[in-house]
Amino acid sequence: MRKTNARAGMQLREVSGAISQGDGAQGTSGNNEGGSVKIGEGGASSAGWHKLQSGLRCQKEFQLEHVRGIHKPQVQTPDYFAIGIGVHAGRATWFGNKFRTDTATWEKVKHAVRRDFEKQKLPVTVKAESACLSYLEQYIAYWSMRPRPTPVAIEWLIGPVPFEPDDPFFMHRTARLDDVSKYPEAGGHLCIGELKTTSGGIQDVVNEYTLHGQPLMQWTLFKRSKRGEKKFGPVKHVMLDVIKKGYGSEKCQFHRQPIPITDYSLAWYSRDLRAQLKILSGIDWNTDTPRNIAQCTRVVGRARVNCPYLDLCRWGKSAGTQYRLADGGFMNSWRPSEEQLVPPWK
């Protein structure tokens, strides 16, 4: 069930829950070939990139999604989403178990996948679970035959940390790093590992993330966090670890690509993102936010898909039957209140 927040500022400030696992806390430790490895918990971080990206695309989308909590009803976790969750959980478990390929490790990988599926609010399909385990089996078979990274941290939460020392708390951000490892593909240097699954092309993913807000945020927070550079030393690159999903008899493809982060891009990114955070924190239910008509369809992988609110922006109230309010109620049943003067479709 989604929470109703009167103000997006609350969403942006919704980082306090992460503090206990954040910069002030330790994860568990395990042993790896290179020594001790810190192991955190999986899942999206509370104030990470995914909470921001809709706001950077279109302020109206951010308001509809994060402030008003409007959504399309679903009966199950979408397969692509479940697969992403499961593959992350299984990969982290394999990294944390010294890249072993024995039956006991595979059982742990499967257990991690099912554990994270059970955490989802909506059921995961058998098809998604079966695809996920197949991709992991292929991933392990592929990478176990090649030089392995040396992880120092897995599923590692950093933050909440500010972009600049004096930033107010609602501008502090978090990031969950899939791993921090010394990668042979980067000459043995320490990198932030970032797993991506795709139905499109591997090169499309590399192109997309060559200059992208998520790795830039990971890098910036890692530099500033006491659970980042201060703990593990500087990182050289963000290492994209891409799985091209196989369908039917088609096998998966795998690729690791170091993405260098330039000082020039970090300088403008930090400045621009802070400005955007200030704008988003001022959006409440009633704020008259601009729409970005250039983002109503967007490219995901190789497909062009609609913004989830396209029908609402196109038809207004008459599209309301497709959507639900944050509490699950029908949009057409909405009544104005002291905090909600503007209709949800406006």
What residues make contact with ligand SF4 under the rule CB under 6 A?
Answer: 58, 60-61, 64, 291-293, 295-296, 307, 309-310, 313
Q: Which of 231, 250, 232, 253 is nearest to 241 (CA)?
A: 253
Residues 65, 307 contacting (CB under 8 angstroms): no
Smallest gap from Cβ 309 to ligand SF4, in A, equals 4
Residue 182 is inside which H or E element, if any?
A: strand 173-182
DSSP 73-84: --SS--HHHHHH
CA distance 2 to 66: 9
What value does the CA radius of gyration of the chain take, rounded to a whole number of Å? 21
Cα-flanking dihedrals φ and ψ of residue 278, to 5°? -65, -40
Closest to ligand SF4 by CB, 57 vs 278, is 57
Smallest gap from Cβ 57 to ligand SF4, in A, equals 6
Q: CA 185, 188, 192, 197: dihedral to nearest 10 degrees?
A: 20
Closest to ligand SF4 by CB, 58 vs 221, is 58
Closest to ligand SF4 by CB, 60 vs 224, is 60
Neighbours of 53 (CB within 10 A): 14
Closest to ligand SF4 by CB, 71 vs 255, is 71
Closest to ligand SF4 by CB, 10 vs 313, is 313
Q: Which residues contact 224 (CB under 8 A, 6 or more apart)?
A: 161, 162, 163
Smallest gap from Cβ 268 to ligand SF4, in A, equals 24
Closest to ligand SF4 by CB, 122 vs 300, is 300
Smallest gap from Cβ 12 to ligand SF4, in A, equals 18
Closest to ligand SF4 by CB, 156 vs 309, is 309
CA distance 27 to 5: 30
Smallest gap from Cβ 22 to ligand SF4, in A, equals 31
Smallest gap from Cβ 53 to ligand SF4, in A, equals 12
Looking at residue 339, the DSSP 8-state letter turns out to be S
Smallest gap from Cβ 13 to ligand SF4, in A, equals 23
Closest to ligand SF4 by CB, 195 vs 296, is 296
Smallest gap from Cβ 307 to ligand SF4, in A, equals 3
Angle between the 79-96 and 103-118 helix axes, to the nearest 10 degrees? 140
Cβ burial 136-172 (10 Å sphere, 16+ → b, else e):
bebbbeebeeeebbbbbbbbbbbbbbbbeeeeeebbb
